[in-house]
A and B are shown apart, each in its own frame.
Chain A
Amino acid sequence: AQSVTQLGSHVSVSEGALVLLRCNYSSSVPPYLFWYVQYPNQGLQLLLKYTSAATLVKGINGFEAEFKKSETSFHLTKPSAHMSDAAEYFCAAPSSGVYYSSARQLTFGSGTQLTVLP
């Protein structure tokens, strides 16, 4: 079964600094991968997704993520943090070991709270 690990439950960066949020997945088959952002008391918004087309994926709000098969990683980055980036970030991957499971559930990481310091 798939598992998703997010290293660092809390990350603090200064405004203008590089943002790096880490995500590792467990499946041996390169899956679809997603990053979602959640602002307080809101649902999740899709930031970007990897679908095997390109290893470097660009998303909304200046975020991007690079899929590295050798490291089973899909880390999220942004060159320059803004105060508005402060939120909870979740990495997710399809749950089932069966690649084309009809249910297509997602397994979420435990989340990383990003704080941006002025």
Chain B
Amino acid sequence: GAVVSQHPSRVICKSGTSVKIECRSLDFQATTMFWYRQFPKQSLMLMATSNEGSKATYEQGVEKDKFLINHASLTLSTLTVTSAHPEDSSFYICSARGHRGRYEQYFGPGTRLTVT
């Protein structure tokens, strides 16, 4: 149980284009989803928290117009990197939290974004 998928696993795009990453909870309803960014050999940096049907809450320093998050249903959240630049290249990981009162997050396998 508690499986989270992410698609695509790897994407290469040209500078200036937009990329959408999907995060799905496959066998549970995710009341909250989180988006993280991870630089090589570093810990996870929380970008934003989203609840189904409401606007995402972005962490300080994260551009909400650049990283668009849509939590359209209890099983799907998307992250769109708009007008991507090489400095946006990174490993993006989503996680999902299920039942009220529980803290553990279940993570997707991550998406490696490379902007050329």
Contact = CB atoms under 8 A, between A and B. Distances in A.
Interface of A: 32, 34, 36, 41-46, 49, 90, 94, 100, 103-106, 108-111, 113
Contacts of B34: 105
A94 B32 CA distance: 14
Given A43-B4, A43-B6, A111-B42, A105 B108 contact: no
Interface in B55-100: 57, 91, 93, 95, 97
Contact of B104 (A41, A42, A49, A113): A49
B104 A43 contact: no
Contact of B97 (A49, A104, A113): A104
B34 to A, nearest CB: 7
A108 B32 contact: no
A41 B93 contact: no
B104 A34 contact: yes
